[in-house]
Structure 1
């Protein structure tokens, strides 16, 4: 057996062994199962359900020329254009635009809905996949609420879509996919009347009752530990609370308080993980424009009566907050200077599809400007670029012998995973010291352990990396935001911010230091030139001192 084949088998083994039996059973079942025929006729909306219109937000849009815009690509509507990236096709079928559309585009919206129905007969194509169905069903229902008159075939199509979803619930994937399946079934069952709709409502609520307990951690985080998906799921929770408040269904009313509490706790978590510019950090799969911003969610939640705990301004020098369950740390220096640290585990064990090999990475903002940034996410799929963006080499941490700390592979797979151990979390006077280690490199011949310590004090952040065991090459990378300029002289890199402020990074323990060209990926379909400080460790210890 060749080494390559053996390596592939090993990766597959370490991936599959973490799955739940339920996932394996349903993956086999769905290979052969087909959606049962369904005759949708005469469905009506329940009269007692009337949502409050949520704030306008959409990840994609149709421009004034009625062309679809997403990922920097613009094209006329073609529901089956397979020349486009799969994620582009999916977003077209979500009909996200409808949820934030207004009266001025009612004619176009009707043509859009009728075009989708006519061009996508049941049950074939990506438009009938369960995740796509889940998002579109909710968008359609929000839109139908705003229409003065309804065309009967709209409701028949909606019922057919809900039926198709109920036959394909993503028990083989779980995580956020299962959650949005449950949400869509609750929406369909709440708005439509009849015995069939009641069964969708019951099934959806059963899923949500189980998944809200499973997916939201005690510190408020969503368990996939992606700030982007956390924001997306918070918006979903706001939609559900909106529905519960504005319906007369007792099954929903009795869940209001629990859903409200989850939203408030999730907002507190998201506020802590924001950069001073108000945006998310790039840990795991994260990008701008795919999920609502914190301000969007706060506005929606406020309309629904949520009152999340206010953030107390930092007046006590350097402070640190450890989100224990999720594993993230926020260090506040004051004056809009903030570091965000990733001490998180690869999670959840059975579905790490949105995980990056970014263990012990960090991001840093100074004076409200992002300075050190992880590389972000610009695409899904199984290509080389997707693999690179998930690798350790695309993040602000240490890579050993060209290997990633966790074995990310394919588009959404992880084999052997780094496990993080917290070493120290203390404050002495005006100094905060945090240390942690991960065992992701113990699988290498040198059985290497990476230990990273952050020492934070006024105007200074030290990052001390230690790698035990023998290694051929250990490399620390610090990716700079595109608006930052850097000039290297010996072991010192002078960093200039757009506002003229200057920071200095001094590196001790490196055999070679270079500032190289790289790319940052803040949005899907977007690649922006930036710079990266690359330091090759000469011994087992590298100290990076950043002052400003």
Structure 2
């Protein structure tokens, strides 16, 4: 290995660092500081707070040690010595849940320990972080085991290590941990070589590619110590610039049409660009403009009470963990977008810790009025339409509908069969909901359900999905959807759209839906054209907070703490409400389930209205907020 330099050129800076503990403490509110230190204490005990452990951390481990190949959910182990195809099995019955194993090896928890040290100066946090990096390197030789399968995982790991490297600089043992004999250097070098292989032209796109490229760029700037470093930095920057255009539509919406991946991709595009500015390698203004639009999209789609959309897949991926688990997901991102790029968004309540680490504590926040926008708006290039009324009031109604396809990637891997599906919230309360993701590989049956048409608030024909699933991330047939009419109004609006997903069936059914929001009344008109006799099911999935009571054969009252609405169906429909069941029509698939976070699911009320009839058929449904 080449002679290693341990200092970057003087003109280069690592985001907002250095920050002494007193300076960092002054920029962070006490509640955030206490939550992060509490999480850091749990990490030192070997306890986790992600996915199914969000509400109650996992059990401690002896000495707080991390088993990098154990799935804490199932107790199963992935073979740490497997190579090549032998290590790539996604069978959770064999090796546990791969995504859970990977979350540990992304080293977000190690970054939390390093931030805790930066906040307090306490030795236990610094030594805990350094020990975990060294232990991972020892337990994960290059190209062995599941933690060397993905370029995205390698990229995220390098970004976490870079933050630990910088945050621990003030510690007296820093030179020992990261000096000439440190195991960090050969591992970083192998990571960079691995990323070079994983990001060659033609590599599969999506946010996972951005994670690999972001890690490659950040590592090359943080450690410009190898002969390949200048080339890796240059190539990663060029690829990120290209991917920003390929992965973000002109509106700024992520092409994967998954809100979770939109947030993750925005973080992954922001972090290299901000570091590039700090080290004299600024990204092109067009890149920054598209990034700013992506941040603006997050703010506009965020509903009252900081409700975030749930369309498409989400596995709660983070680029880097700057805030305690459970903190508002997008606040630091919006704050940095506002104070660095001048994105006209309201100042978030949280996110100060992350923004301070990224921008420093001497930056004067921009002072201006956020850009006003209408309650009803659309991103037609993404097929996303929002109908809103009562903006700014406690009973603000917001309806979000998806008219787009499954995403623009070749596989549509993170899309769901949800064309013409809609969600409805009243103030900060989700009422008619997107089911979420549950998990990727934990159970094929659950994966199929949470992606299915039956799990979404739309019309299902002959118990078939609009798009045909061919695997956990594959589709054999993909729906095409189009909006024919869009009329936003001051207190609501009207949308008419259709999709061709069922034209493959006998009689070539076509589903057209009209959504008309007027104040607190949403009218839904479904027209199913075509020929022949078909079985139709209209699904309305409700938040677990909701209680449902029948008022008549065609009217149901949905209530939640602080509010209620009435759903009235077409009189020809047979309506029932169930939750957490096995679908009686199929006898095998689930129905009436909600995933509050990745890796978790719970029963939720589901209204199901059915009709077997000869097409064409028009059905009318109303939802009135009381």
TM-score (norm 1): 0.85
Contact 2:405 2:481 in 1 (8 A): yes
Contact 1:71 1:524 in 2 (8 A): yes
* Aligned-partner SS, 2:604: strand
The one of 348, 352, 359 equivalent to 2:408 is 348
The equivalent of 1:544 in structure 2 is 621
The equivalent of 2:322 in structure 1 is none
CA distance in 2 between partners of 1:41 and 1:402 (Å): 64
The one of 232, 238, 259 equivalent to 1:206 is 238
The equivalent of 2:158 in structure 1 is 137
Deviation at 1:429, TM superposition (A): 8.2
Deviation at 1:128, TM superposition (A): 1.7
The equivalent of 2:498 in structure 1 is 437
Contact 1:387 1:409 in 2 (8 A): no
Aligned residue runs from structure 1 range 113-152, under 5 A: 113-129=133-149, 130-148=151-169, 149-150=174-175, 151-152=178-179
CA distance in 2 between partners of 1:313 and 1:172 (Å): 38
Q: CA separation of 1:431/1:200 partners in 2, compared to 1, >3 Å: closer, same or farther? A: closer
Contact 1:260 1:306 in 2 (8 A): no
Contact 1:215 1:222 in 2 (8 A): yes
Contact 1:376 1:521 in 2 (8 A): yes
The equivalent of 2:197 in structure 1 is 167
CA distance in 2 between partners of 1:490 and 1:144 (Å): 65
Aligned pair 1:108/2:128, yes or no? yes
Contact 1:263 1:306 in 2 (8 A): no
Contact 1:505 1:546 in 2 (8 A): yes
Deviation at 1:196, TM superposition (A): 1.0
Contact 2:250 2:290 in 1 (8 A): no
Q: Which moved more, 1:303-312 or 1:362-371?
A: 303-312
The equivalent of 2:607 in structure 1 is 533
* Aligned-partner SS, 2:424: strand
Aligned pair 1:218/2:230, yes or no? no
The equivalent of 1:49 in structure 2 is 13
Aligned residue runs from structure 1 range 507-526, under 5 A: 507-517=569-579, 518-526=592-600
CA distance in 1 between partners of 2:299 and 2:337 (Å): 14
The equivalent of 1:333 in structure 2 is 389
The equivalent of 1:190 in structure 2 is 221
The equivalent of 1:22 in structure 2 is none
1:473-514 CA-to-partner distances (Å, cap 9, x unmatched) read 111111111111111231001011211x22111001543101
The one of 269, 272, 281 equivalent to 2:300 is 272
CA distance in 2 between partners of 1:509 and 1:40 (Å): 77
The equivalent of 2:507 in structure 1 is 446
* Aligned-partner SS, 1:167: helix
CA distance in 1 between partners of 2:191 and 2:2 (Å): 10
Deviation at 1:166, TM superposition (A): 1.1
Q: CA separation of 1:345/1:541 partners in 2, compared to 1, >3 Å: closer, same or farther? A: same
Aligned residue runs from structure 1 range 295-310, under 5 A: 295-308=331-344, 310=370
Contact 2:252 2:294 in 1 (8 A): yes
Q: CA separation of 1:364/1:311 partners in 2, compared to 1, >3 Å: closer, same or farther? A: farther
The equivalent of 2:558 in structure 1 is 495
1:365-393 CA-to-partner distances (Å, cap 9, x unmatched) read 11321110011111012611111111111
Q: Which runs of 4+ in 1 moved over 4 A?
A: 53-58, 287-292, 427-431
Contact 2:305 2:427 in 1 (8 A): no
Q: CA separation of 1:428/1:338 partners in 2, compared to 1, >3 Å: closer, same or farther? A: closer
Deviation at 1:427, TM superposition (A): 4.7
1:191-214 CA-to-partner distances (Å, cap 9, x unmatched) read 222431111112211211211111
Q: Which moved more, 1:189-198 or 1:386-395?
A: 189-198
For structure 1, which runs of at least 5 residues remain unmatched after alignment? 1-38
* Aligned-partner SS, 2:534: coil
Q: CA separation of 1:370/1:388 partners in 2, compared to 1, >3 Å: closer, same or farther? A: same
Q: CA separation of 1:289/1:158 partners in 2, compared to 1, >3 Å: closer, same or farther? A: closer
CA distance in 1 between partners of 2:215 and 2:141 (Å): 20
Q: CA separation of 1:510/1:293 partners in 2, compared to 1, >3 Å: closer, same or farther? A: farther
CA distance in 1 between partners of 2:492 and 2:263 (Å): 32
* Aligned-partner SS, 2:568: strand
Deviation at 1:49, TM superposition (A): 3.1
Aligned pair 1:70/2:50, yes or no? yes
Q: CA separation of 1:347/1:289 partners in 2, compared to 1, >3 Å: closer, same or farther? A: closer
CA distance in 2 between partners of 1:158 and 1:169 (Å): 16
Q: Which moved more, 1:336-345 or 1:188-197?
A: 188-197
The equivalent of 1:323 in structure 2 is 379
Q: CA separation of 1:222/1:286 partners in 2, compared to 1, >3 Å: closer, same or farther? A: same
- The number of residues matched between the two structures is 500
* Aligned-partner SS, 2:440: coil
CA distance in 2 between partners of 1:467 and 1:493 (Å): 24
The equivalent of 2:586 in structure 1 is none
Q: CA separation of 1:285/1:147 partners in 2, compared to 1, >3 Å: closer, same or farther? A: same
Deviation at 1:307, TM superposition (A): 2.5
The equivalent of 1:373 in structure 2 is 433
The equivalent of 2:582 in structure 1 is none
